Amino acid sequence: MPLPEEFLASDKLSEQEQAAILAGALPYLRRYAGDTIVVKYGGHAMVENDLAATFGRDIALLKLVGINPIVVHGGGPQINAMMKRLGVESQFVDGLRVTDREMIDVIEMVLSGTVNKQVADLISHAGALAVGISGRDGRLIQAERLVHYRRGDAAHQEAIDLGFVGTPVRVEPRVLYALLGAGLIPVVAPLGAGKEGEIYNINADTAAGAVAGAVRASRLLMLTDVPGVLDEHGKRIEELTAAEARRLIKEGHITGGMIPKVETCLKAVQAGAKAAVILDGRVPHTCLLELFTRAGPGTLITAE
Ligand SMILES: Nc1ncnc2c1ncn2[C@@H]1O[C@H](COP(=O)(O)OP(=O)(O)O)[C@@H](O)[C@H]1O
Ligand SMILES: CC(=O)N[C@@H](CCC(=O)OP(=O)(O)O)C(=O)O
């Protein structure tokens, strides 16, 4: 049976060139064989259909060459769209959605119902079987209410009540190992299981970092909308240590959503992940470029 058009390599390359590219991947395939790679896939990246299909195929490819990918997805824009339909306005504090009791049910429905199945489907459609679960399944992400202080002077502030926004306290990776052991790709919605059965809304970066640390991933790939962490001159930093990250945050060169992203990466490597990479999710095949080429395109974050 001929392969569908979408699976064929670019016809801009000669067959010799295509073979050379495959052969060139050998050292990288050997390096990551059997390793676990956690990929954070954000809600914005899913909106563009071509890019989403490419992402699904790349994750399937990783599995087919012997790597164990785990995808943790977001869904912020998809939750916003549903809230708009329901006439509910979301409020954010430092990028975190204030989540009341009524909202958490809607958020669970969007994240672990719609988005989770869409992401799993993208991958399964490309020929590797993916299974969608949420952080509540198998008590994967055990969480408690996040005590949040507005960025800055924590010592002189009152904690802000964000409702059912959770912080992971423990990750129980057995369900992930069971799926990986069966040759499947886990796709995880960022929800947490509380002690009393309550549901928590967890920022997807945070959830991905917690999972990556717990499974001692060889890479945590954080897909975002910039080429990586940029320095004070706007130039991409290829490799960032914890000390340098702290300096850039302190001097105000890393700001906004990049602060928690970098902090999550640092936590993940402290917890057991080998390294984390902040990558441009707008670039097609960004995960393959990172794992299978010499000059990885993003910012690599390692422990000191
Ligand atoms: N030093 C920096 N390097 C790169 N991006 C930065 C930096 N400081 C702040 N940012 C901002 O962080 C944003 C990424 O964080 P965020 O918007 O939360 O990402 P996502 O929605 O992908 O999770 C970038 O789009 C950029 O505007
Ligand atoms: C607490 C909190 O803010 N949770 C996020 C969860 C989804 C998310 O993080 O999605 P992206 O990665 O697409 O932004 C939210 O409610 O939007």
The verdict on residue 276 lying in a domain is: yes
As a whole number, the mean pLDDT across the chain is 92
Q: Is 247 annotated as a binding residue?
A: no
Q: Is 204 exposed, middle or buried (0-12, 13-18, 19+ CB in 10 A)?
A: buried
Q: Is 256 annotated as a binding residue?
A: no
Q: Is 80 annotated as a binding residue?
A: no
Say whether pLDDT at 119 is over 80. Answer: yes
Phi and psi, residue 128, nearest 5° = -130, 140
Ligand nearest to the CA of 72: 2
Residue 198: CB atoms within 10 A of its CB come to: 15
Host domain of residue 198: 15-301
The verdict on residue 121 lying in a domain is: yes
Higher-confidence residue: 9 or 207? 207
pLDDT at 158: 84
Ligand 1 in reach of 229 Cβ (< 6 A): yes
Range name among 69-78, 201-210, 274-283, 295-304 with the lowest pLDDT average: 295-304
The verdict on residue 2 lying in a domain is: no
Phi and psi, residue 239, nearest 5° = -135, 130
- What CA–CA distance (Å, rounded) separates 55 from 74? 14
Q: Check which CATH number belongs to the domain holding 176 and give it.
A: 3.40.1160.10
What is the count of structural domains for the chain?
1
Residue from 89, 201, 264 to probe ligand 2 pocket by mutation (most atoms less than 8 Å from CB):
201
Local structure of residue 165 (DSSP, 8 states): B
The verdict on residue 5 lying in a domain is: no
The verdict on residue 45 lying in a domain is: yes
> Distance, CA 45 to ligand 2 centroid (Å)?
13
Residue from 105, 148, 203, 261 to probe ligand 2 pocket by mutation (most atoms less than 8 Å from CB):
203
The verdict on residue 278 lying in a domain is: yes
> For the whole model, what pTM was predicted?
0.93
Q: How far is CA 153 from the centre of its chain?
A: 29
* ipTM of the prediction: 0.95
Range name among 2-11, 261-270, 291-300 with the lowest pLDDT average: 2-11
> Distance, CA 275 to ligand 1 centroid (Å)?
19
The verdict on residue 6 lying in a domain is: no
pLDDT > 90 fraction of the chain, expressed in percent and rounded: 78
Q: How far is CA 42 from CA 69, 73, 75, 236, 254, in A?
A: 16, 6, 6, 21, 20
The verdict on residue 148 lying in a domain is: yes
